[in-house]
Amino acid sequence: MLKTNKEIEEITISSMALDKTTAKNLSEFVNNNFSLRKMSISWCQFKSNDLLRFMEDIKNVKHLQYLDISAIPIEGPMCIALTNLIKQHIIMNTSLIHLDMSCCNLDPDELSLLVEGMKRSKSILSVHFSGNSMKPETKKDMLEQLLKTSDKLITTNKPIEKFIKARSEKLSKQLFPNDSESMQFNICTNNDQKMKLDLFKQNLEIKMGLDGDKKKKYETVDDRIVFYRFLGHLEIKGGHMWKMGSRCWLCEKWKYTCVVVNPITLSSNFQSASEFDSDHYHQKIANSSKQGQANELSGSFPMIAGSFSNWKCHNMMKVDKFYD
């Protein structure tokens, strides 16, 4: 079926044991189906040699935008070779914008290799690393290396800005296609649904401390580790710089929105929120300030805050600065 259908845009294969033959057939499908944009093989079981061959076969694929290989342990004597193949795919695939490598049992050396790939990629926007061996020092080192690249990219090579903007405009039409236009092919087993329910229950018990160990600090689903950036939008201050957080703007399908405010007519056209909503949002902004997220603000110009900024207040830009 896969060989005959050349219009599939998304494929999800979850919680299945993929042998050598199946992995080979899947890699051939990925290479030959140029309509494919999203592929997820999370929780699948590979033998180390088969996974190595699979990544070798798709290393030069340049039409995939989303790749999810989470919960597939990368271990054994070939782990460095496998990580190098993934690094090469990040560099060579100039369409790749999203990569999920959560719970892949990555150690600091392997994470460093992937950071090298992220530094050299001109398209990648978001990478998930949750559930790997990442101490605070490891996270800091990764972010510092990425930030050095971001500084060099913008400050020393101005023509690259135009390239990034053109590249982003080319991809923007494909970032959030209508569901009706996207063909999906999903292969999920009953065990997959059961596993997700079991994980949800386990995470809930850990979050509520039901195991009786009150002193131990656990990582919950809210502690995701995501490295992300924005390309092609120079009006977003520091957007090109890599950031580390727990939210992925691609997964949440953020839409680019411009908010235009005329201070002269603001008071006459502004519709006030209800008392409950007003208190609710003021509390969110106050909590953000208490956490040390307050920004230097100018009282003479409108401010904006919302879930997109974790309720951190920002001064809005003047129109002439926006168009510069």
Burial (CB < 10 A; 0-12, 13-18, 19+), residue 203, is middle
Does residue 158 have a pLDDT over 80? no
Q: In this structure, are 132 and 193 located in the same domain?
A: no
Higher pLDDT, 278 or 35: 35
pTM of the entire predicted model: 0.70
Q: What is the pLDDT of residues 248-259, one digit of tens each?
A: 999 989 888 777
> Looking at 18-22, 194-198, 279-283, which range is the least confident one?
194-198
Burial (CB < 10 A; 0-12, 13-18, 19+), residue 277, is exposed
> Domains in the chain: how many in total?
3
Q: What is the pLDDT of residues 210-238, one digit of tens each?
A: 444 443 344 444 568 999 999 988 777 78
CB 71 within 8 A of CB 99: no
Q: In this structure, are 282 and 321 located in the same domain?
A: yes
Please give the Cα distance from 311 to 73 (Å, whole number): 36
The two three-digit tokens of residue 166, written as one number: 């053109």
CA nearest 96: which of 60, 131, 70, 71?
60
Q: In this structure, are 168 and 290 located in the same domain?
A: no
Which domain does 217 fall in, by range?
A: 189-221
Q: In this structure, are 127 and 271 located in the same domain?
A: no
- pLDDT bin (cut points 50, 70, 90) of residue 284 is confident
Instruction: Compute the residue count for the chain.
Output: 324
